[in-house]
Amino acid sequence: MSRVLFSSVAMAGCFTKTLQKCIAGRHVRSFAVPQRRLSLGFEVFSYAEVGEYQSFKDCRQLFRKPQALFLHGLVSRKYHLGIPYQKKVDIHQNPVSNGVMNLEEWEGLKRNWNKEFRHKDFNTYLASVVVAYMKEDNYSLAKSILEKAKQEEPNLPAALFDYYCHLCFKCCDKEGLNWCLDIVKENQSKLDEGNVRSLMNGLCQGDNWKVNGLKLLEIAIDEAITLTPRVYEPLLVAASKHNDSKLIIKLLSEMVGKDLIPSRDACISIFSTLTCGSNENAVNSDFEKIIFNLLNFFKIKRHYMSKEEIFALKNWFERNKSASWKTSLTRISPDGKCKSCGHTLDKMTLTSKEFKTLRDQVTEKVIYGEDIFQKTRPDEFEAFTHFVKEGGPYDIVVDGLNVARLIQKRHPSRMLRQVIVYLVQVCGYKCLVLGRRHMLSGSGTWQPKYMNAVTDLADCFFTENISQDDPFMLYATLHSGPRCMYMTRDMLRDHKALLDPEVHLSFIKWQRTHQMSPVNFIDGKLICKPIRKHDTVVQSSGDTWHIPYDDDQSPRYSYQVPIDWLCARKT
């Protein structure tokens, strides 16, 4: 382990970042953060694989200076360890005459590799040349390079074979795609997650799309390749264009079995091409079965379609001649009624078994599993559980610190008192207020006259100032029973990821129906966001369909729900 002495804290900090990057790139094994600072701002860093130097100036042979940084108001340099320079491939060094590489240009490419890139494996060099042309969208030229490589060595390495499959698809080379399929049939290990999608895309554009696509799918399943919705997409699109309802049903059944949701493009193609006529009852029945089964699958998965998918589905309902459907894009009122047809949607409920499982798993994985005792003392949380057991059950648990900051211009302790007075005296709730010890300090922010009123009206538990609020609030609410609500503007985003998938869904349902999120306090009345107790999933009553969808304008978090719906009803 060697040392370097810096005469500037700025230089030392800059060098630290450089070493961290080098360690990440494995150019340096390790280094030690300085444990002491010398007089005049000197800092000492120890690191491996570098010689002994007494000053920064003496280190210059190990460093290059590609750019300047402005640190602490002074111009300083960012120094990098002297890592050997990797020369980049210049595809314009050997220009190609007519957009397709001939034999002479191929030999020139090999000479260039032998002269300047001998340290690289030839196939690696070739791959970098192909990628460079692909970045310029010059697919035909990139493919011609691989054609020359294929002529010399038909057994292309895996990386080049992947590129060749992709380029055959991009160039619509049916002959090349069939060659790739033949290679895969002979040597199934050639097929991998990198090329299966390109091959499927290309093969499904040909005349033998069904035979070739199903064969490729069979090989992929035999090779235990992880199949994604994007692999099924080309085959689903081709099947829908050819009105092959049996194949669509087969593929969708496979996807449901693998818990895969069809891609957006696949759904749009299915909705856009499957048309129900008035005289083909068997076909109509198959097509309706496909669409309605797909919608029911979306209901189970709580999947929300995009606006493009909804427009395609809306057009499908309107084109369906076997039944008359009236459609509209609408919204649902807070009480769960459709503003278009007046139908009341199903409520979001938890069974007693689901609630018990949720309570137990939140206690085990979120409260104790997060190692709560890093944020609070064991005796404090034990005292709290005893407090809830003796004083509960409660009607509502209030995050006191969060609610007190509801209106910035209003005094926090006065704001908290007004909210608690409203909840207890107006609403008649039995209330538990969670707060921090500093709220009892009697400071200007937390005036005793207001805090005394809060403690007189409600049960209050004040934790240490470093303690987390969320575990206390979750514990008190869940252990007060399924009717207990909680009040906070925090969306508890970090806790859902710790739960099992089924319980995660129960948590979302419970959160949406039990969280009161205040937004204002006007004329002695607390204004909260409306609690939407209707379930925001695809719903059907036989003669009606209500389908929520995303507006695609902004990302939506798991605790947020779509507000736009498609309403379809028989007339």
Q: What is the pLDDT of residue 1?
A: 38
**Separation between Cα atoms, residue 255 and residue 301, nearest integer Å:** 12
Q: What is the pLDDT of residue 149?
A: 75
Q: In this predicted structure, which of 98-107, 208-217, 293-302 has the lowest mean pLDDT?
A: 98-107
pLDDT tens digits, one per residue of 499-516: 787 888 888 888 888 988
Pair of tokens at residue 93: 């060094």
**Separation between Cα atoms, residue 566 and residue 539, nearest integer Å:** 11
Burial 518-528 (b: 16+ CB within 10 A, else e): beebeeeebee
CA 150 → CA 124, 161, 182, 341, distances in Å? 15, 9, 14, 63
**Separation between Cα atoms, residue 351 and residue 209, nearest integer Å:** 48
Mean pLDDT computed over 256-278: 84
CA 560 → CA 235, 499, 556, distances in Å? 34, 18, 6
Does residue 484 have a pLDDT over 90? yes
Which domains occur in the chain, in start order?
A: 2-81 (no CATH), 243-346+534-571 (1.25.40.10), 352-518 (3.40.50.11980)
pLDDT more than 70, % of the chain: 72
**Separation between Cα atoms, residue 533 and residue 531, nearest integer Å:** 6
Mean pLDDT computed over 238-263: 89
464 pLDDT band, cuts 50/70/90, is confident
524 pLDDT band, cuts 50/70/90, is confident
Helix%, strand%, coil% for the chain, nearest 5: 50, 15, 35
Length of the chain: 571
CA 267 → CA 308, 345, 462, 488, 508, distances in Å? 10, 25, 53, 39, 26
pTM over 0.75: no
More confident residue, 182 or 251: 251
| CA-based nearest residue to 96, from 147, 163, 152, 153 | 147
pLDDT tens digits, one per residue of 180-215: 888 888 787 778 777 888 888 888 888 889 998 899
